Amino acid sequence: MSVSWNRQDNIALIWIDNPPVNATSHAVREGLVTALAQANADAAIEAIIIACKGKTFVAGADVKEFGKPPRPPFLNDLVQLIEDSAKPLVAAIHGTALGGGLEIALAAHGRIASLDAQLGLPEVKLGIIPGAGGTQRLPRLIGMSEAIDMVASGKRISAQKALDLGLVDRISENDLITDALTFAKVLAQTEPRRTGHVPVRDFDKAAVEAQIVAIERKARGQISPGEAARAVYNAGNLPIVEGLKFEREKFLELVSSEQALALRHVFAAERLAAKLPDLDGVTPRHVQNVGIAGAGLMGAGIAVAFADAGYAIVIVERDKQSMDLGAKRIEAIYDRLVKSGRINEAAKEERLSRIGFHFDRSAFAQCDLVLEAVFDDLDVKQELFASLSSIVRPDTILATNTSYLNPDSIASVIPDPGRFIGLHFFSPANIMRLVEVVRTKNIAPDVLAAGLAVTKRLGKLGIVSGVCEGFIGNRLFTAYRQQCDFMLEDGALPHEIDAAVEAYGFPMGPYAVTDLAGLDISWARRKRDAGKRDPALRYVAIADRLCEAGRFGQKTGKGYYAYDGGKRSIDPAVTTLIEAVSQEKNIARRSFEQGEIMAKIIDTLVAEGDRIIAEGIALRASDIDLVLINGYGYPAWRGGPMFQSGRS
Ligand code: 3HC
């Protein structure tokens, strides 16, 4: 039974039990309606508590029911029943109260949350807006601007923040149900406080309108954040009945939109990515103590990611000076996080206290996992791993963060390559969500499972990749960049391609990205690999010419663009250079429409994606979409190229 109730003292305890996340599936809605009616009809009952079994409070409406004909009782009607309950009603929240789950809690007359609970309205991430009163009740509890921020971003907040904002009334640090009973007995003495009747606090209209415009701009084509913000704004301008009506209509309109369909694909794809048929029933090798070799830009970001997730970390640099530099780099990352308000000083100190700095590899002796982030050179990495074999335990997992080297070649120097894995982070590693979990040739199943478990604990998305040059991501990116270069040579200009890509929803076009990253490193690689290049393949020399002219990107004030005073502008010298390259090959330049530019890019990504799957490098088409979305800025609301081409 997904809903049941029992009495304790004179309180009705309504239990939702619908694993895995207590979503408000049809049976839950029906069960709640019945239980509420029974508890309200029972003269001995003085107050009601809604609580959940299992690991979480209600994590939302049942996503699997979206797209199917809705079946009554509807969630919005149920939520209204909760608010209208004659007897005071408390929501007892543990785990996550998300979407429809938070909407149930918002309609309750009091909310108590356990200390580690998290609350949010993540609907925008599914391309929709809250559909059961969230946009109207949340601003009544926490104020207009905070509510717009929460609903439009979809981000979760902690129980403590929820208490500070007035979203919950109490925090339970002990037994949630015991504390909820105490709270319910207090509420039983008073008239229920119905959230829908609470007036919205005064707010600065001009500031909120500016906030909404900024949200729409940041959404880069995704509809739901702006719509969600506008629905919340209604709460300040319309009677609640009208605000709720608007919200419901917008929810129903968006739930069947193309964007919602694409984002539901992304949701399902993310859950699928962690499921590997051959890992069924495999327990991941245990990881708590983590060693990181190298505290350069990448190593420092990785260390912060691990520290943020509660791991104990040992960093080893090659000498004292590099070690001190690494420590400063990590502290600087935390200083920026404190400055931006993302963490406080105490959290910074606590995380730093879990990072040890050394310049002797023997410090790795007790590590469960040692990950290298040293210079991307085969000899350097092989020397490191060869020496580690005699330092660490035989079951310690050894991992490389290489971008381009072959992990199997690196592993060839260790006696037991079954413990060797690739964990390819993207920069900045503490921010970027994607990690390619590289399945090396001889990898042990529990090591691969550990790679996925670790990335999940880091709050990142692990995508399994086989071994090939560039793995999944850089291989797709190389194909994409090459297609863009072909179009440059055929007649397009960098700003035209960038404009097309940005209009499509990417945060930045390829040439703006290259200018930011710098042109010199890939130039060095091209020069090194020049002898290996197949002369029969089309080669575009524009990037080489720019480098020969000293145009290494933003850091030199010029690249594909000019950066006078730091401001990006089209540079006629680049146009001339590109035209000259086309002329040398007798290419008659022609113009490209934005639609054609994007069609060529998507066709290229799909073709490369097909090859990657055919070679067994990626497991499935949806993994290709996830890599592009989480590592390269492909707009999630478009679902990815494989989704658009009907492959996933
Ligand atoms: N509906 C149906 N199934 C859901 C679900 C939901 N809302 N949320 C999660 N699940 C399922 C997953 O598909 C997965 O199933 P599987 O094991 O068969 O693959 C299982 O629950 C576990 O999910 P995770 O692997 O994501 O488990 P985690 O422990 O890592 O995370 C979570 C738990 C934080 C609850 C996470 O699942 C999550 O964020 N879920 C989405 C929550 C959400 O978006 N809620 C809003 C829904 S829309 C809504 O409520 C509309 C309303 O306003 C009308």
Q: Is the residue at 168 inside a domain? A: yes
Of all residues in the chain, what percent carry a pLDDT higher than 90? 96
How many angstroms separate the CA atoms of 198 and 168, rounded? 15
Query: With contact defined as beta carbons under 8 Å apart, do 484 and 602 qualify?
Result: no
Q: Which of 497, 498, 541 is nearest to 523 (CA)?
A: 541
> Which ligand 1 atom is at minimum distance from the Cα of 20?
21
Position 644 pLDDT exceeds 90: yes
Which residue of 63, 256, 461 sits with most ligand 1 atoms within 8 Å of its CB, as the best mutation to test the pocket? 63
Helix, strand, coil content of the chain in percent (nearest 5): 50, 15, 35
Report the alpha-carbon distance of residue 550 to residue 574 in Å, rounded. Answer: 12
Distance CA(226)–CA(556), nearest Å, equals: 38
Residues 6+ apart with CB under 8 A from 151: 121, 123, 124, 129, 130, 134, 135, 138, 228, 229, 231, 232
Whether residue 70 is predicted with pLDDT greater than 90 in this model: the reply is no
Does any domain span residue 416? yes
User: Is residue 451 in contact with ligand 1, taking CB distance under 6 Å?
Assistant: no
Q: Flag whether pLDDT at 463 surpasses 90.
A: yes
Does the beta carbon of 235 lie inside 6 Å of ligand 1? Answer: no
Report d(CA 455, CA 462) in Å as an integer: 6
Q: What is the pLDDT of residue 376?
A: 86
Residue carrying structure tokens 């409406």: 61
- What is the position in ligand 1's atom list of the atom closest to the CA of 275? 19
Q: Which of 256, 286, 308 is the last residue of a domain?
A: 256
pTM flag (> 0.85): yes
Atom in ligand 1 nearest the alpha carbon of residue 274:
25
Span 434-447, mean pLDDT?
98
Q: Say if residue 389's pLDDT is above 90.
A: no
Q: Which atom from ligand 1 is nearest to the alpha carbon of 76?
A: 54
Residue 271, pLDDT above cutoff 90: yes
122 and 232 assigned to the same domain: yes
Is any atom of ligand 1 closer than 6 Å to the C-beta of 151?
no
Listed residues 465, 481, 515: the one ending a domain: 465
Longest Cα–Cα distance of the chain, Å, equals 91
Please say whether the dihedral angle defined by the alpha carbons of residues 556, 558, 564 and 566, taken in this order, is positive or negative: negative
Whether residue 133 has its Cβ less than 6 Å from ligand 1: no
Mutate to test the pocket of ligand 1, among 21, 80, 150 (most ligand atoms within 8 A of CB): 21
Does 37 share its domain with 64? yes
- What lies within 8 Å, CB to CB, of 42 at 6+ separation is 7, 12
Claim to verify: residue 426 and residue 565 sit in the same structural domain: no
- Cβ–ligand 1 distance for 58 under 6 Å, the answer no
Q: How far, in Å, is the centroid of ligand 1 from the Cα of 150?
A: 18
Q: In the chain, what percentage of residues exceed pLDDT 70? A: 100
Rg (CA), the chain: 27
The verdict on 122 and 138 lying in the same domain is yes
Residue 458: CB atoms within 10 Å: 22
Indicate if 480 and 459 belong to the same structural domain.
no
CB 621 within 8 A of CB 648: yes
Reduce the DSSP state of residue 127 to 3 states and report it: coil
Q: What is the mean pLDDT of residues 448-464?
A: 98
Residue 146 has pLDDT above 90, yes or no: yes
In a domain, residue 262? The reply is no
The total of other beta-carbon atoms located within 10 Å of residue 156's CB is 18
Confidence at residue 67, expressed as pLDDT on a 0 to 100 scale: 85
Same domain, 461 and 478: no
CATH of the domain at 562: 1.10.1040.50
Whether residues 210 and 114 share a domain: the answer is: yes
Position 479 scores a pLDDT of 97
**Exposed e or buried b for every residue in 206-225, given b needs 16+ CB within 10 A?**
eebeebbeebbeebbebbbb
pLDDT in tens, 348-377: 999 999 999 999 999 999 999 999 999 989
CA of 123 relative to ligand 1 center, distance in Å:
11
Tens of pLDDT, residue by residue over 316-329, are 999 999 999 999 99
Residue 345 tokens read as 């000083």
Q: Which residues contact 249 (CB under 8 A, 6 or more apart)?
A: none
More confident residue, 648 or 331: 331
Region 172-199 average pLDDT: 97
Residue 118 lies in a domain: yes
Listing DSSP states for 140-171 in one string gives HHH-HHHHHHHHHH---EEHHHHHHHTS-SEE
Query: Would you say residue 335 lies in a domain?
Result: yes
Over residues 495-504, the pLDDT tens digits come to 999 999 999 9
Q: Tell me what pLDDT residue 212 has.
A: 98
Indicate if the pLDDT at residue 648 is higher than 90.
no
Tell me which residues are annotated as active site: 103, 123
**CB of residue 132 inside a 6 A radius of ligand 1:** yes
In one-letter notation, the amino acid at residue 68 is: K
* Atom 14 in ligand 1: residue holding the nearest Cα: 271
**Residue 74 falls within a domain, yes or no?**
yes
369 with 454: CB under 8 angstroms? yes
Residue 6: enclosing H or E segment and its boundaries? strand 3-8
Distance of CA 329 to the CA centre of its chain: 24
Is there a single domain that holds both residue 317 and residue 416?
yes
Q: What is the pLDDT of residues 122-134, one digit of tens each?
A: 999 999 999 999 9
Q: Are residues 217 and 283 in the same domain?
A: no
Residue in the structure block whose two tokens are 């097309």: 500
Q: Is the peptide bond before 19 cis (omega within 30 degrees of 0)?
A: no
Stretch 69-80: mean pLDDT, rounded? 96
Read off φ and ψ for residue 576, nearest 5 degrees: -60, -45
- Name the residue at shortest CA distance from atom 36 of ligand 1: 59
Pocket lining: 100 vs ligand 1, CB cutoff 6 Å: yes
Note the pLDDT tens digit of each residue in 274-317: 999 889 999 999 999 999 999 999 999 999 999 999 999 999 99
Shared domain for 188 and 319, answered yes or no, is no
Q: Classify residue 424 as left (phi > 0), alpha (psi -120 to 50) or beta.
A: beta
* Same domain assignment for residues 139 and 239: yes
3-state secondary structure 399-464: EECCCCCCHHHHHCCCCCHHHEEEEEECCCCCCCCEEEEECCCCCCHHHHHHHHHHHHHCCCEEEE
Domain tally for the chain?
3
Please report the pLDDT score of residue 252 as a whole number: 95
Ligand 1 atom closest to residue 271's alpha carbon, by position in its atom list: 19
Which positions ≥6 away from 522 have C-beta within 8 Å? 543
Chain-wide mean pLDDT for the chain?
97
CATH of the domain at 425: 3.40.50.720
Asked if the structure places residue 642 within a domain, the reply is no
SS3 11: strand
pLDDT at 575: 98
Tell me if 20 CB under 6 Å of ligand 1: yes
Give residue 507's domain range. 473-616
Say whether 37 sits in a helix, a strand or coil. helix
Burial state string for 102-116 with b = 16 or more CB within 10 A and e = fewer than 16: bbbbbbbbbbbbbee
- Report the pLDDT value the prediction gives residue 566, as an integer from 0 to 100: 85
Residue (of 367, 386, 378) closest to 316 by Cα position: 367
Half-sphere exposure of 331 (CA within 13 A, CB side): 10
Instruction: Compute, in angstroms, the gap from residue 637 CA to the centroid of ligand 1.
Output: 18
Clarify whether residues 479 and 448 are in a common domain.
Answer: no
Task: Flag whether pLDDT at 84 surpasses 90.
Answer: yes
Please state whether beta strands 170-172 and 157-158 pair in parallel, antiparallel, or not at all (unpaired): unpaired
Ligand 1 centroid to 119 CA: how many Å? Answer: 13
Helix (H, G, I), strand (E, B) or coil at 172: strand
Q: Is residue 356 part of a domain?
A: yes
| Alpha-carbon torsion, ordered 476, 478, 483, 487, to 10 deg | 140
Q: Pick the residue whose CA is nearest to atom 9 on ligand 1.
A: 21
Please say which residue of 416, 434, 465 terminates a domain: 465
